[in-house]
Amino acid sequence: MKRIKYQADIDSQTLETLQAGMLGWYRQYGRELPWRQTRDPYAVIVSEIMLHQTTVNTVVPVYLRFMEKFPTVFDLASAPLEEVKHITDPLGYKVRGQWLKNIAEVIVTEHEGEWPKTLEGWMALPGVGRYTAGAVLSFAFEQDAAILDTNVRRVLGRYFGIAYRETRAEVVHRLWALAEAIVPKGEAFHFNQALMDFGAMVCTARHPACTICPVVDQCVTVGEGVPEAAAEEVSAYTIRTRADP
């Protein structure tokens, strides 16, 4: 069956407020993290796999240890799996070590050490989904790729008034359409980092700091007076979408 694609139609003021607000906030408050100091795809994919279902503070020391032990994709590809998992398993979600090892082996044996530069190429790698592929493309290659992790879902869901915790395909497609539509041209690296940090530090799951939010005046959830504890239950879609054949 042909997949339906949704294209978000957002008014210019709503879009510009979000873009300017996130970028301005990030310039002042964005976190300085070790994997943000490089554009090496290897370092970025290692960080993204480690960050699955784990907090940033937990990942940082493990990431630094991992990169010291396996500084290149070739080092990782040739390493025994037990050595890899010895470092990654304490993070929990123990499949991540296997994923990193498998990715390295594919890159070295099938791509001669060259990393993909397309969404499809990244999603063909073991354990890499749409979010991770978009993250690497925007953070390592500075392409205008979209991301949609838990923090970004929450920020967009509240700002645009979408029941972001629902798992129905329609909701997921709409959120991805939004994520793709809002990336400022040439600013994906900073904008995507901003969305993630903002969701982790300000627009948090519990007790969001709405009083210091730079885009609160355009936030549908706040504007409609929806209690924060029930923000995920907002059911009315306040953006217009159309299904393209």
pTM of the model: 0.86
What's the pLDDT at 4?
Answer: 37
Measured distance CA(63)–CA(219) in Å, rounded: 35
Q: Which of 16, 48, 83, 142 is catalytic?
A: 48
Phi and psi at 163, nearest 5°, equal: -75, 80
Residue with tokens 């493309």: 137
Q: Is 113 helix (H, G, I), strand (E, B) or coil?
A: coil
Q: Return d(Cα 108, Cα 69) in angstroms, integer.
A: 18
- Written as six digits, the tokens of 149 are 């992790």
Domains, the chain: 5-30+147-244 (1.10.1670.10), 40-140 (1.10.340.30)
Residue type, 62: V
Rounded to an integer, what distance in angstroms lies between the CA atom of residue 188 and that of residue 205? 24
Q: What is the reported pLDDT for 238?
A: 37
Q: How many CB atoms lie within 10 A of CB 144?
A: 17
pLDDT at 160: 93
**Separation of alpha carbons 194 and 116, rounded Å:** 25
Q: How far is CA 33 from the centre of its chain?
A: 15
* Contact yes or no for 52/93 (Cβ under 8 A): yes
Phi, psi of 7 (to 5 degrees): -120, 120
pLDDT of residue 242: 33
48 annotated active-site:
yes
CA–CA gap between residue 97 and residue 192 (Å, rounded): 25
* Average pLDDT along the chain, 245 residues, taken 10 residues at a time: 49 94 97 96 98 93 98 98 97 94 98 97 95 97 96 95 87 93 96 97 93 94 63 37 32
Q: What is the pLDDT of residue 226?
A: 58
pLDDT at position 223, please?
77
